[in-house]
Amino acid sequence: MNISNFYKLTLFTFFIAFTITGCKNKERDSSDANLSLKKQNILFISIDDFRPKISSYGETKMITPNIDKLASEGLQFNNAYTNIAVCGASRASIMTGIRPSEKRFNDFSTRASVDTPNAIPLNRIFKENGYETISYGKIYHHKDDFQEYWTEKDGGQIQSDFQDPISIARIENAERGEYGKKQPTFEYPDVDDYAYNDGKITKKAINKLKALKSKNRPFFMAIGYVSPHLPFIQPKKYWDMYDHDAIKLADNSFQPKNSPDIAIEAQHNSAEMRKNYLDIPEHGKLDDSLARNLIHGYYASVTYMDALIGELIKALDDLGLRENTTIVFWSDHGYFWVSMVFGVSIAPLKRRLKYPLLFLHLIILKIKLLHLSPN
């Protein structure tokens, strides 16, 4: 489905308005009418830096059986593009329904509540319509952004909770980067799925679903996975699922014809890898060994995230909540694998802008007017 980001967001806004008001339609059959009267729960799953090179999008590079299953059961958007390919600005845009511009939502550290203090964000819409609003992990870039509209939230993103003693020792002895001591770009210790924070928020979300089942109140639960954002850290069993030597490097590590120099400048000099991670050269391309390790780490991190989502959806099914829950699966932007050679990941090129978007259990009336937005 070829649909612009604006129409995607306005379509979702219409859906929100429909679900939270329990809209009636006399022409629908009685079973649909009864379902429409009951407010839908929303499970809002966010993934960081996820490029949709998975089976449901016609690729076979990464192992994602749970996401592929969700895609087969719902509505998959095949040409969804982010408004801006940096996490803070993209997340602010998605949560408010407002486009980035020259003066707002244009930086990775964007705060929606600062750039657009009068916006009506998604969590506010749901909270003011009687929903419990829960945020675990990374939804907004900053944990306190529009925090007053969550009924429950945790500490936000934890991005570098290394578990391997070798990694921890390297960090302790590392030089300072732009945001603290430099870190390894990947690790794969032999630990269980709950050692990292993404595993912890999955367990927390499952326990919360159990508690919500006994309440007669709809919920908007936002779960924000950091995987597969750098650093690529995950249990060893997910690393072992890939043949390291069979991983292919990008064959287009050059500037696209007629592309603006400013976009390519980002590939070479951004702080994403150059200034914050160990073993990354200050200038020039990465060597093949490091590039292959990074791609391997990205694949493994995606598969780890997929397994956690599988657990979350299974809990929804086991608790009998799936029938009345709409699942929205999205990412803030894609990932540019040539960056594994260039050494950066924020270039505003097509593969960086494209990201996965899935809806499951949508109830939508015939829509003729899509230009709807809370702002």
Positions annotated as catalytic residues are 87, 141
Supply 10's token pair.
């306005």
Q: What is the DSSP letter of 240?
A: T
**Bridge partners of residue 153, in order along the sequence:** 135
Name residue, tokens 């945020």. 135
DSSP letter for each residue of 50-109:
----SGGGT--SS--HHHHHHHHHSEEETB-B-SSSSHHHHHHHHHHT----SSSS-STT
Quote the CA–CA distance of 309 and 199 in Å, as a whole number.
Answer: 10
* C-alpha span between 345 and 340 (Å, rounded): 8
Closest CA to 352 of 338, 368, 369, 373: 338
Q: Tokens 């059986």 map to which residue?
A: 65
Calculate helix-pair angle for 288-318, 197-213, nearest 10 degrees: 10
Q: How far apart are CA 362 and CA 375, in angstroms?
A: 23
Residues counted in the chain: 375
* DSSP notation for 113-171: HHH-TT---HHHHHHTTT-EEEEEE-SSSSTTTTGGG-SEE-----------HHHHHHH
Q: Are 348 and 239 in contact (CB under 8 A)?
A: no
Measured CA to CA in angstroms, residue 65 lies from 14, 200, 222, 309, 347 at distances of 30, 21, 22, 10, 29
Output phi, psi for 181, to 5 deg: -65, 140
